[in-house]
């Protein structure tokens, strides 16, 4: 699956709403026809997997963050956990924004890693801008949203 943006999730059953939200986002972004070459000629296959597990599952090894970029293959695989309890307790609009924030933070990681390594050009800012435009979300709407678990439980 080259030149694509792939969005998916790995969640505990009670956080199944993540899949519904991602399905809606995929339709809005038209991910099946999404051309990543606009943002990078080197990283053209991006997978963002949203994880949402309770702390006991995280402690057991589920939903670990992954920030992998293969410069040779031109692909990125980013998996960031959403705060489970906060997600479960949030209203529908906040849940949606939490997932969008997770996607935005994932794109930022790809840009940071590409910039730091100097092995690939990646315009994450443009990709984020295009995503937010297609989803009809102002960036300011994400400012106070927690889309990524800041600390893994110990």
pTM above the 0.85 mark? Answer: yes
Q: Are strands 66-70 and 75-81 parallel, antiparallel or unpaired?
A: antiparallel
Full domain range(s) for residue 65: 4-140
- Is residue 115 domain-resident? yes
- Is residue 19 domain-resident? yes
Express each pLDDT in 25-54 by its tens digit: 999 999 888 889 999 999 999 999 999 999
Q: How many domains does the chain have?
A: 1
Spatial separation of the C-alpha atoms in residues 106 and 41, rounded to whole Å: 19
Residue reference for tokens 């295009």: 130
- Is residue 150 domain-resident? no
Q: Is 108 exposed, middle or buried (0-12, 13-18, 19+ CB in 10 A)?
A: middle
Residue reference for tokens 């890693």: 113
Residue reference for tokens 């939903």: 63
Express each pLDDT in 96-135 by its tens digit: 999 999 999 999 999 999 999 999 999 999 999 999 999 9
Cα torsion through 140, 109, 75, 61, rounded to 10 = -110
């Amino acid at each position: 699956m080259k030149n694509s943006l792939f969005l998916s999730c790995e969640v505990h059953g009670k956080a199944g709403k993540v899949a519904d939200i991602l399905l809606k986002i995929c339709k809005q972004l038209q991910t099946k026809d999404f051309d990543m070459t606009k943002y990078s000629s080197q990283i053209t296959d991006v997978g963002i997997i949203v994880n949402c597990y309770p702390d006991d599952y995280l402690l057991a090894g589920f939903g670990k963050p992954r920030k992998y970029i293969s410069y040779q293959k031109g692909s990125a695989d980013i998996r960031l956990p959403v705060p489970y309890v906060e997600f479960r307790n949030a209203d529908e609009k906040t849940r949606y924004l939490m997932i969008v924030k997770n996607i935005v933070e994932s794109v930022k990681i790809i840009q940071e890693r590409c910039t730091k390594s100097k092995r690939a050009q990646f315009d994450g800012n443009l990709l984020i801008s295009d995503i937010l435009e297609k989803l009809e979300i102002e960036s300011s709407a994400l400012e106070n949203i927690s889309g990524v678990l800041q600390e893994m439980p110990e």
